[in-house]
Structure 1
């Protein structure tokens, strides 16, 4: 079970090159059910906001509907926020992502920003690393 970070989803939804190909392949593995994909609850709201701002609300709604059918959602509540605080990272949002992955039972995080997950309770991989190793 892998938690896919916000930036990987946005690589695909916004066709961000040169990151698009590897990120799309990881998401395709979730779509094909080769792996269980998870998004943190706060990632969903961030994705909706960014897509609505760069495209339009209708496209954002369709993307969120698509994601909700294909991905599990990792809860972000008090337990995850307390756990994130205990990590004492500079970037609280990344700490919340790691805590959500941990409490949801994910064994990997796929992100383009692995340096932000140094010391994570769940190992982090770039999309390229994930595809090469798994």
Structure 2
């Protein structure tokens, strides 16, 4: 069974915008998904946020095309009432992070990939940067 990995908005943007110095490890995560070595998930909220930012940078049509390609590698999961309520009543300082966290937990993710590790005080799943995740897989394989 492949690992279930949740990626947040920053990780998706790092890949689609090729943002240095984050692109290399974020791209490796999606490469592993392409090879079916893990399954990458995100929410429709992340897709909407990414589109909003991307369209300002590369335009509407290029943004849609980039997201169409992303969809070949990423499964979309739903944010539901319970996750919204948990996020609203949580100790998270960032509401979007809370939504992502509780949605990832609900859907049985093993790992949540983000660059904002410090924002995730609650830990019912592994919270890592793409670099930590890739280095962990590499060291476990040797």
Q: Report the TM-score, using the length of structure 1 for normalisation.
A: 0.93
Count of matched residue positions in the alignment of Structure 1 and Structure 2: 134
- CA offsets 1:72-99 (integer angstroms, 9 cap, x no match): 1121121210122232211111000001
Aligned partner of 1:121 among 111, 124, 138: 124
Task: Give the number of the structure whose alpha-carbon radius of gyration is greater.
Answer: 2
Quote the RMSD (CA, aligned, Å): 1.2
Cα distance in structure 1, aligned partners of 2:35 and 2:56? 29
The alpha carbon displacement at 1:69 in A equals: 2.5
Within the alignment, does 1:70 sit opposite 2:73 as a pair?
yes
- 1:7 equivalent in structure 2: 10
Q: Point out 4+ residue stretches in structure 1 off by more than 6 angstroms.
A: none
Aligned partner of 1:94 among 71, 81, 97: 97
Structure 1: gaps spanning 5 or more residues: none
Within the alignment, does 1:54 sit opposite 2:76 as a pair?
no
- CA offsets 1:39-96 (integer angstroms, 9 cap, x no match): 1221000111111111110011112212222211121121210122232211111000
Q: Describe the SS at the equivalent of 2:38.
A: coil
Structure 2: gaps spanning 5 or more residues: 138-142
The alpha carbon displacement at 1:121 in A equals: 2.5
